[in-house]
């Protein structure tokens, strides 16, 4: 398959701000793609070579990419650098220089997807002495044979800046339309993806064996399952009503969620975003090896740092020190973790995700030996609001964030990849004012003036709407940033900058700069009000109005453990607004 077909599709997708058009272009591309490379095309559209959990990234530094462009076009690095300063996008610069190439390639070989993929794979896997030269030569070789447009997207792909805006759900939509006979079978596609976290494998299975074959996807060791998420309500009474009058209420520990896969002597830990984070937690791996009874098991736990002197749980930020390459052993000594198990998804060949929570909860009690660093999350069965409230207070006293209340009804399966009403979180109350924090996605920015000249004056922040799969703006935030934040944020955001509003961002405000929704910040505000200028929950409470957070302030916490889709949802903001009203009325 010619790579130019892929580049053409990117160009069209990138130019549209309409979701449906975007899906149509993707459908066209997938229909043109031969069976043998469908998985590769799917990974490439996401700027990847493999699903995230494999942990192989293309990652070429911009400096090296500049060298490759220079080499392929016969121009000096200085010239390329100078143009890059103007365009701010090496892809565009590469396209321009290839249009006026000074060096003629004899017998150019048109680029195929196969060759592009194999070469990028070699680049990604090349390590050790001589690898920089090898990467340079491989990339320059591709560029020398590339058409200008192809070069643009190749460069963006290798530097991690391919931002055509195709989300996982859009790929599933497009696959279902192209090969699954329309939307009816869409849930089958979603389940296959949710248990495997591998879009390429889903695509390959569908085109090779038909959508029915997706039924054979089941939970398997080594492939992370997309996590089940919780909704939120603000009173024990409402929670119990929603859950049918009775639930299992558990402590909500404030740590990092880990999905643990134990396969004999091998333990792998996946983060909430499904990255392999095994190397960050040597202490957790040790605990699992010492205590877990089944040979093969997948379970979920909250990993919490504990103070060695006092035995008290430490706040979540302590664990962020583990997000680095060096000094992990030291961090593990200083603040070793404990594991609080809260679900089990697989035991010795048995997929438990379609079992009810009472069944899973009972099995959970049996999978680990007694050990002082791992246990099942504290829980009770609650059937009245007073009991729930009392347990909530106890959880807060013991250093937890609140409770997660879980359905124990017939339909209480593990809803992989979904936020539903089977799990409801109950955090510190935010009754008369908004005392609770929210996690919002940066979608745009406004230039600063005066003291803030050269950096941003305010960021445009959005909540996530999972039903529409879009981001709806809820405030402009300029407070709470330290000087260091102000210096760093533009650098950090430049990797996500876009030429226009992202197609999945709904905004009535015109930002000076637009970003791909990626970065999540923790924000605290004073209250939530109806607003004609923000799109969060527009027309839900009142025709023509959305919701806005007033006096928002950055708490200093970058939620790098959260993907944009894990941000606070529009429904949660609606719920916070309603509960705030109730107290004003009462």
Active-site residues, by number, are 252
Q: Pick between residue 41 and residue 520 the one whose CB is nearest to ligand AMP.
A: 520
3-state SS assignment for residue 515: strand
CB closer to ligand AMP out of 150 and 302: 302
- Which member of 32, 257, 390, 447 binds ligand AMP (CB under 6 A)? 257
Cβ-based nearer residue to ligand AMP, 317 or 482: 317
Q: Are the C-beta atoms of residues 424 and 572 closer than 8 Å to each other?
A: no
Residue 271's nearest CA partner among 305, 306, 314, 301 is 301
> Minimum distance from CB of 353 to ligand AMP (Å)?
15
Q: Can you give the C-alpha Rg of the chain in angstroms?
A: 25
**What is the spatial distance between Cα 245 and Cα 488, in angstroms, rounded to a whole number?**
49
* CB of residue 257 to ligand AMP, shortest distance in Å: 3
Pair 381, 247: CB distance under 8 Å: yes
* 253 binds ligand AMP per the rule CB under 6 A: yes
The verdict on 252 binding ligand AMP (CB under 6 A) reads yes
Out of 193, 342, 391, 471, the residue judged to bind ligand AMP by CB under 6 A? 342
The distance of closest approach from Cβ of residue 110 to ligand AMP in the complex, given in angstroms and rounded to an integer, is 47
Site map for ligand AMP, 205-234, x if CB under 6 A? Answer: -------------------------x----
| Other beta carbons within 10 Å of 224 | 26
Written in H, E and C, the secondary structure of 83-103 is: HHHHHCCHHHHHHHHHHCCCC
φ/ψ region of 115 (left if φ > 0, alpha if ψ in -120 to 50, else beta) reads alpha
Position among 68, 249, 352, 404 found at the interface with ligand AMP (CB under 6 A): 404
Which of residues 253 and 554 has its CB atom nearest to ligand AMP in the complex? 253
Can you tell me the distance from the alpha carbon of 411 to that of 217, in angstroms, rounded to the nearest whole number? 20
Q: Does 559 bind ligand AMP (CB under 6 A)?
A: no
Q: Is 272 in the site for ligand AMP (CB under 6 A)?
A: yes
Stretch that binds ligand AMP, among 249-257, 317-325, 488-496, 533-541 (CB under 6 A): 249-257
DSSP label at residue 313: B
Distances (CA, A) of 379 to 339, 385, 388, 391, 489: 15, 15, 11, 9, 41
Cβ of residue 566: shortest distance to ligand AMP, in angstroms?
7
Within 13-72, which residues bind ligand AMP (CB under 6 A)? none
Handedness of CA 577, 580, 584, 586 (dihedral sign): positive
Of 198, 302, 355, 506, the one binding ligand AMP by CB under 6 A: 302
Supply 246's token pair: 């009775």
Instruction: Give 416's DSSP letter.
Output: T
Applying CB under 6 A, does 377 fall inside the site for ligand AMP?
Answer: yes
Residue 425 near ligand AMP by CB under 6 A: yes
Tokens in use for 335?
């603040």
Q: Is 313 exposed, middle or buried (0-12, 13-18, 19+ CB in 10 A)?
A: buried
Q: What's the closest the beta carbon of residue 340 comes to ligand AMP, in angstroms?
A: 6
What is the smallest separation between the CB atom of 520 and ligand AMP, expressed in angstroms? Answer: 11
The answer to the question of residue 262 lying near ligand AMP (CB under 6 A) is no
Which of 3/357 has CB closer to ligand AMP? 357
Would you say how long the chain is, in residues?
Answer: 586
Number of residues that bind ligand AMP (CB under 6 A): 12
Per-residue x/- marks for ligand AMP, 528-557, CB under 6 A?
Answer: ------------------------------
Question: Which of the ranges 122-130, 202-210, 252-260, 322-330 carries the binding residues for ligand AMP, by CB under 6 A?
Answer: 252-260
Note whether 346 binds ligand AMP by CB under 6 A.
Answer: no
Interface with ligand AMP by CB under 6 A: which range of 246-254, 408-416, 470-478, 511-519? 246-254
Question: In the complex, what is the shortest distance from the CB of residue 440 to ligand AMP, in angstroms, rounded to a whole number?
Answer: 13
Residue of 52, 168, 231, 250 that binds ligand AMP (CB under 6 A): 250
Residue whose CB is less far from ligand AMP, 151 or 345: 345
Q: Helices 168-179 and 19-32: crossing angle, nearest 10°?
A: 60
Q: CB nearer to ligand AMP: give 111 or 405.
A: 405
Q: Which stretch binds ligand AMP (CB under 6 A): 18-26, 235-243, 248-256, 518-526?
A: 248-256
Give 181-225 as a 3 state SS string. Answer: CCHHHHHHHHHHHHHHCCHHHHHHHHHHHCHHHHHHCCCCCCCCC
Residue pair 490/506 in contact by the 8 Å Cβ criterion: no
DSSP string computed for 221-287: TTSPPPPPEEEE-S-HHHHHHHTTT-EEEEEE--SEEEEEEEETTEEEEE-TT--B-GGG-HHHHHH
Binding mask 91-130 for ligand AMP (x = CB under 6 A): ----------------------------------------
- Residue 124 per-residue DSSP state: H
Nearest residue to ligand AMP on Cβ basis: 257
Binding residues (CB under 6 A) for ligand AMP: these are 230, 250-253, 257, 272, 302, 342, 377, 404, 425
């Amino acid at each position: 398959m010619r790579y130019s077909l892929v580049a053409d599709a990117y160009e069209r997708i990138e130019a549209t701000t309409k979701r449906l058009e975007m899906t149509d272009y993707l459908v066209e591309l997938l229909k043109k793609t031969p069976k043998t490379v469908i998985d590769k095309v799917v990974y490439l559209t996401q700027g990847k070579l493999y699903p995230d959990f494999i942990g192989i990234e293309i990652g070429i530094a911009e400096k090296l990419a500049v060298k490759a462009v220079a080499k392929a076009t016969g121009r000096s690095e200085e010239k390329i650098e100078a143009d890059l300063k103007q365009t701010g996008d090496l892809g565009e610069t590469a396209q321009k220089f290839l249009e006026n190439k000074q060096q003629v390639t004899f017998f150019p070989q048109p680029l195929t997807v196969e060759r592009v993929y194999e070469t990028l794979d070699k680049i990604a896997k090349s390590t050790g002495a001589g690898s920089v030269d090898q990467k340079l030569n491989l990339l320059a070789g591709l560029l020398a044979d590339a058409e200008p447009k192809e070069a643009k997207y190749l460069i963006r792909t290798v530097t991690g800046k391919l931002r055509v805006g195709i989300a996982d759900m859009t790929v599933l939509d497009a696959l279902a339309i192209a090969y699954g006979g329309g939307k009816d079978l869409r849930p089958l596609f979603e389940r296959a993806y949710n248990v495997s976290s591998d879009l390429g494998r889903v695509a390959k299975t569908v085109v090779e064996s038909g959508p029915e074959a997706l039924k054979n996807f089941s939970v398997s060791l080594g492939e992370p399952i997309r996590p089940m998420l919780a909704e939120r309500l603000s009173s024990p009474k409402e929670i119990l009503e929603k859950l049918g009058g009775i639930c299992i209420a558990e402590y909500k520990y404030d740590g990092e969620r880990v999905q643990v896969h134990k396969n004999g002597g091998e333990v792998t830990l996946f983060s909430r975003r499904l990255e392999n984070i095994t190397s960050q937690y040597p202490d957790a791996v040790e605990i699992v090896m010492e205590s877990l009874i089944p040979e093969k098991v997948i379970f979920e736990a909250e990993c919490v740092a504990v103070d060695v002197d006092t035995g008290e749980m430490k706040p979540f930020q302590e664990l962020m020190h583990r997000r680095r390459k060096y000094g992990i052993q030291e961090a593990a000594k200083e603040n070793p973790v404990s594991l609080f198990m809260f679900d089990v998804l697989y035991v010795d060949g048995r997929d438990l995700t379609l079992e009810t929570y009472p069944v899973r909860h009972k099995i959970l009690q049996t999978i680990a030996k007694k050990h002082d660093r791992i246990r099942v999350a504290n829980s009770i069965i609650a059937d009245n609001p007073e009991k729930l409230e009392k347990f909530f207070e106890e959880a807060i006293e013991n250093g937890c964030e609140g409770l997660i209340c879980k359905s124990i009804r017939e339909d209480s399966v593990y809803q992989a990849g979904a936020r539903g009403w089977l799990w409801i979180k109950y955090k510190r109350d935010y009754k008369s004012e908004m005392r609770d924090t929210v996690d919002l996605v940066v979608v745009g920015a406004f230039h600063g003036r005066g003291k803030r000249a050269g950096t941003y004056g305010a960021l445009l922040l959005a909540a996530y709407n999972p039903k529409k799969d879009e981001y709806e703006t809820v405030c402009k935030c300029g407070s709470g940033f330290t000087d260091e934040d102000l210096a760093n944020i533009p650098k950090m955001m430049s990797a996500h900058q876009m030429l226009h509003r992202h197609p999945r961002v709904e905004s009535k405000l015109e930002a000076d700069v637009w970003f791909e929704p990626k970065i999540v910040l923790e924000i605290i505000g004073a209250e939530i009000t109806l607003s004609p200028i923000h799109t969060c929950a527009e027309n839900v409470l009142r025709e023509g109005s959305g919701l806005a957070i007033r006096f928002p302030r950055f708490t200093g916490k970058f939620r790098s453990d959260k993907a944009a889709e894990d941000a606070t949802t529009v429904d949660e903001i609606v719920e916070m607004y309603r509960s705030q009203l109730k107290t004003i009325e009462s």
